[in-house]
């Protein structure tokens, strides 16, 4: 029996509480992925190996890191990454990756943002409440009732 079948059969038997797994919500998984991207990128910056980290797909990794930093609230670092992405993809005379990575590392270290604290607080944030449309309409209808 493979692992998938074992998981499904374990989930079919609620009396086997030890075998059942709790699957995190989509938002919890998304937050974990964003935090992972931020931590990996920030470690590469602190260890001066950013060009090595970005090497297989520099534009894709820079864009993903930029959106992750923006999402946790590190706007200065996000703007630095946007400028680096622009330098890499500039039409006519793009700059080489090692030069851009060096500039990003210097500017990111100089930015006065506590990235590890922002990443930790971001992952601890509670899930956003999604209000169903019917309840919003119902509350509006109740407050604007004409008797």
The arithmetic mean of pLDDT across residues 73-98, rounded, is 91
With bands split at pLDDT 50, 70 and 90, how would you rate the model's confidence at 120?
confident
Q: Long-range contacts for 39-46 (Cβ within 8 Å, ≥24 apart)?
A: 39/116, 39/119, 41/65, 41/68, 41/69, 42/115, 42/116, 42/119, 45/104, 45/105, 45/108, 45/109, 46/109
CA distances from 24 to 2, 55, 75, 90, 129 (A): 22, 32, 28, 40, 16
Please report whether residue 28 resides in a domain. Answer: yes
User: Could you give the number of structural domains in the chain?
Assistant: 1
Over residues 35-63, the pLDDT tens digits come to 999 999 999 999 999 999 998 899 999 99
How far is residue 45's CA from residue 104's CA, in Å, rounded to a whole number? 8
Confidence of residue 8 (pLDDT cuts 50, 70, 90): very low
Residue 134 forms part of a structural domain: no
Query: Does 135 fall in a domain?
Result: no
Q: What is the pTM of this model?
A: 0.69
Q: Is residue 136 part of a domain?
A: no
Q: What is the pLDDT of residues 9-43, one digit of tens each?
A: 444 454 555 555 777 788 888 888 999 999 999 99
Residue 120 lies in a domain: yes
User: Would residue 133 count as lying in a domain?
Assistant: no
Query: Is 37 within a domain?
Result: yes
How many C-beta atoms surround the C-beta of residue 31 within 10 A? 20
CB hemisphere CA count around 77 (13 angstroms): 29
| Structural domain boundaries, residue 70 | 3-125
Residue count of the chain: 147
Quick check: is 24 in a domain?
Answer: yes
């Amino acid at each position: 029996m493979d692992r998938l079948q074992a998981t499904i059969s374990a989930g079919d038997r609620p009396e086997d509480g030890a075998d059942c797994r709790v699957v995190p919500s989509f938002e919890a998984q998304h937050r974990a992925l964003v935090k992972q991207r931020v931590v990996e990128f920030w470690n590469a910056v602190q260890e001066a190996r950013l060009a090595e980290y970005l090497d297989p797909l520099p534009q894709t990794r820079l864009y993903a890191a930029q959106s992750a930093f923006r999402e946790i609230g590190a706007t200065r670092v996000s703007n630095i990454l946007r400028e680096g992405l622009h330098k890499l993809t500039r039409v006519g005379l793009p700059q080489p990756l090692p030069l851009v990575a060096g500039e990003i590392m210097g500017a990111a270290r100089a930015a006065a943002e506590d990235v590890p604290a922002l990443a930790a607080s971001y992952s601890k944030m509670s899930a956003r409440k999604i209000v169903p449309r019917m309840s919003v309409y119902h509350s509006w209808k109740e407050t604007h009732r004409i008797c």
